[in-house]
Amino acid sequence: MTKVLVATDKPFAKEAVMKIEEAVKSAGLEIALLEKYSSKAELLEAVKDANALIVRSDIVDREVIEAATELKIVVRAGAGYDNLDLEACTEKGIVAMNTPGQNSNAVGELVLGMMVFMARNGFNGASGTELRGKKIGIHAYGNVGQYVATIAKGFGMEVYAFDPFVAKEVIEKAGITPIDTVEELYSTCDYVSLHIPATPQTKESINYDLLTKMPKGGVLVNTARKEVIHEAEILKVMADRPDFVYISDIAPDNKAEFEANYKGRFFFTPKKMGAQTEEANVNAGVAAANQIVGFFKNGDETFRVNK
């Protein structure tokens, strides 16, 4: 029987697990669950006889791929697939997929939620600021960026977007002002919300030069990946610009330095939680299960991300 392993260090909501099970079993496939595993060895053992694998941000590197000798397909239940070794998948003839858009609303809501939290001084009762009338720049107008833009408009913010891969007309049609260069996005906007993927090209691309272009009181919101931030340089921004605020859904490696020196000017979630809602878990998890079923039943490779 074809075995689908759901391996999630950060477990899906119970409801999502039930629905994934339903989707897998009703297609006549078998399911196994590995949650909150404490070591990579556990994952290596569990993947041995799996024909399909569903993961979240779990690291599926060459070692995992090589241990998974029966694997035909791995689906990252989510958008970013920087945790999958695509080259190793391709070499072993394994199809790799993501489930784009399925968890985007959850991330979008968290962006605005964290912005309000910081604008109101962590809800400490001191007088804060409002989002209405402020300018927000969407750095990459993909699925999450689109949700952020829509919600930000609801708050009465002026919305701008920079995305060299999206036609200006598409952005304009959504009532958003397209911006030609990344530098202009940062120099224009009070808030910038980051939605670029982590790739060799984007790694550490959010640096001192870019961030210091932001107007006084500039706020960077990062729900993308910590790897895209130049950590040494953002610390220099924090030091040189006492008005600058950094919000991130996942703490940077140099979190201790923020805690020691910049209290009240940063907020980091304790664990990446942008997509951690019951709805997002159900959407992404069930999509992953259905994509696996479609792959085994009909050879459907929609959402394949490797060659």
The footprint of ligand 3PG (CB under 6 A) covers 10, 56-57, 78-80, 103, 272, 274-276
Burial 100-139 (b: 16+ CB within 10 A, else e): bbbbbbbbbbbbbebbeebbeeeeeeeeeeebeebbbbbb
Shortest Å distance, C-beta 151 to ligand 3PG: 17
**Strand 73-76's sheet: what is its strand order?**
30-35, 3-8, 52-55, 73-76, 95-98
119 or 305: CB nearest ligand 3PG: 305
Of the candidates 220, 264, 244, the residue with the CA atom closest to the CA atom of residue 124: 264
244 or 246: CB nearest ligand 3PG: 246
Shortest Å distance, C-beta 77 to ligand 3PG: 6
Q: How far is it, in rounded angstroms, from Cα 142 to Cα 103?
A: 12
Nearest residue (beta carbon) to ligand 3PG: 78
89 or 235: CB nearest ligand 3PG: 89
Q: CB within 8 A of 66, min separation 6: which ones?
A: 88, 92
134 or 272: CB nearest ligand 3PG: 272
Q: How far is it, in rounded angstroms, from Cα 52 to Cα 29?
A: 10
Shortest Å distance, C-beta 132 to ligand 3PG: 28
The three-state (H, E, C) secondary structure of 4-64, written as one string: EEEEECCCCCHHHHHHHHHHHHHCCCEEEEEECCCCHHHHHHHHCCCCEEEECCCCECHHH
Q: Which two tokens stand for residue 81?
A: 């697939």
Shortest Å distance, C-beta 175 to ligand 3PG: 26
Shortest Å distance, C-beta 213 to ligand 3PG: 26
Q: CB within 8 A of 300, min separation 6: which ones?
A: 291, 294
Q: How far is it, in rounded angstroms, from Cα 107 to Cα 118?
A: 17
144 or 235: CB nearest ligand 3PG: 144
31 or 196: CB nearest ligand 3PG: 196
Shortest Å distance, C-beta 109 to ligand 3PG: 13
Distances (CA, A) of 242 to 126, 185, 235: 18, 21, 11
Residue 60, beta-bridge partner list: 84
19 or 56: CB nearest ligand 3PG: 56
Shortest Å distance, C-beta 84 to ligand 3PG: 11
Shortest Å distance, C-beta 225 to ligand 3PG: 7
138 or 214: CB nearest ligand 3PG: 138
